[in-house]
Structure 1
Amino acid sequence: MSALQVLAPDGVPTLTSGVDVAAVIVPFLANLAWPDGSVGVRADDVVVISSKIVSKAEGRLARASEREPTINAESVRVVATRGYDDDRPPLRIVENRQGVVMAAAGVDASNTYPGTILLLPEDPDASARRIRRGLAARLGGVRPGVILTDSAGRPWRAGVTDFALGAAGIRVLADHRGEVDNAGRPLESTIVALADEIAAAADLLKGPTGGRPVAVVRGVADAVTHDDGPGARGLNRTGPEDLFALGTREAWELGRVRPLP
Structure 2
Amino acid sequence: MTISILPVKGVGEITPGTDLARVLTDAMEGDDAIALSDGDILVVTQKIVSKAEGRYCDLRHIVPSPEAEELAAVTRKDPRLVEMILRESEAVVRSAPFVLITRHRLGMVMANAGIDQSNLGPGGEDRILLLPLDPDASAEGIRDTVYRRTGQSVAVVISDSFGRPWRNGVVNVAIGAAGLASIVDERGKADRNGRILGVTQVALADAVASAAGLIMGEAAEGIPAAIVRGVALHSAHASPARALLRPAAEDLFR
Q: Name the TM-score class by shorter chain.
A: 0.7 to 0.9
Aligned to 1:94: 102
**How many corresponding residue pairs?**
231
1:48 aligns with 2:57: no
Of 205, 208, 215, the residue aligned with 1:198 is 208
- TM-score using structure 1 length: 0.84
Aligned to 2:135: 124
Note the aligned Cα RMSD (angstroms): 1.8
Matches within 5 A, 1:10-29: 10-29=9-28
Matches within 5 A, 1:185-224: 185-209=195-219, 210-220=221-231, 222-223=232-233
Query: In structure 2, how many angstroms separate the alpha carbons of the residues matched to 1:99 and 1:142?
Result: 32
The structural deviation recorded for 1:126 is 0.6
- Answer yes or no: is the 8 Å Cα contact 2:9–2:28 preserved in 1: no
Query: In structure 2, how many angstroms separate the alpha carbons of the residues matched to 1:170 and 1:93?
Result: 29
1:138 aligns with 2:149: yes
**Aligned amino acid, residue 206 of structure 1:** M
Aligned to 2:70: none
**Aligned amino acid, residue 167 of structure 2:** R
Distance 1:192 1:105, change over 3 A: same
Distance 1:211 1:224, change over 3 A: farther
Could you list the per-position Cα deviations for residues 185-227 of structure 1 after superposition, in whole angstroms to 9, with x for gaps in the alignment? 221111110100000000000112210000000011x215279
Give the unaligned 5+ runs of structure 2: 61-79
Aligned to 1:76: 90
Of 244, 249, 252, the residue aligned with 1:243 is 252
The structural deviation recorded for 1:184 is 2.7
Report which stretch shifted further, 119-128 or 3-12: 3-12
Report which stretch shifted further, 58-67 or 165-174: 58-67
Give the unaligned 5+ runs of structure 1: 84-89, 246-261
**Aligned amino acid, residue 88 of structure 2:** E
